[in-house]
Amino acid sequence: MSNYYDQYWSKQSTLGDGIYKWPTVIQYIPKKPRVKILDYGCGPGVLLRIMKKINSTAEYYGADVSGAIIKKNKRHIKFCKFFTVEDGKRFPFQSNFFDFIVTTDAIEHVYDTELAFKEFARILKPGGKILITTPYHGMIKNLLIVLTNFELIFDPLGPHIRFFTKKSLSESLHRVHLIPITFDYFGRFFPLSRGFLVLAKKQ
């Protein structure tokens, strides 16, 4: 998987979706001083740079499966500590360590989602929060996809291997005692939104 995403990021520097995603995401970034924030699936660090402007005192960490992008980030983003992670392996962080985790459009790329959610819960402090974004798949949108664009969205050669609904994402979080407290949508208009997010809290 690391080799795949090394090549993926060698062809592009951003995903091009920030214009409609970041304005919604940044509303939920904590502004409390000196909190520990992890960007899981940080890619080239676009969101990390944005968050630094919102909360300059936070302690930032970035994690990604691409060793190449982590190496590049270490050279160019000095305010953040970076780590390479592997799908299906424990995260390289202590338990109850982070106040806030943000993972934007990453979970749909993960094979072992069960372990990933368990690890999110493990490394969050009690009362800590996680913000997850992923492409939106509701009933009306999915019907339109089936009728007009199935091969493009469910391309077997594409990078997306998981497809979450509000219900399935909620259930995945509840299983590890992460309780959803807010849902939001971005891109286009509901119920045809491009993506959605959930903010959940560790019990």
Q: What are the boundaries of each domain within the chain?
A: 2-26+33-202
DSSP state of 120: H
Give tens-digit pLDDT for 144-185.
767 787 666 667 666 667 889 999 999 999 999 999 999 999
* C-alpha to C-alpha distance for 182 and 179, rounded to whole angstroms: 9
Give tens-digit pLDDT for 118-152.
999 999 999 999 999 998 777 777 677 677 876 66
* C-alpha to C-alpha distance for 15 and 187, rounded to whole angstroms: 14
Q: Are 73 and 137 in contact (CB under 8 A)?
A: no
In degrees to the nearest 10, what's the CA dihedral of 115, 120, 122, 125? Answer: -170
| Domain 2-26+33-202: top CATH class | alpha beta
CA dist 146 → 57, 71, 91, 109, 194 (Å): 46, 40, 36, 21, 16
Does the pTM of the predicted model rise above 0.85?
Answer: yes
Give tens-digit pLDDT for 56-75.
999 999 999 999 999 999 99
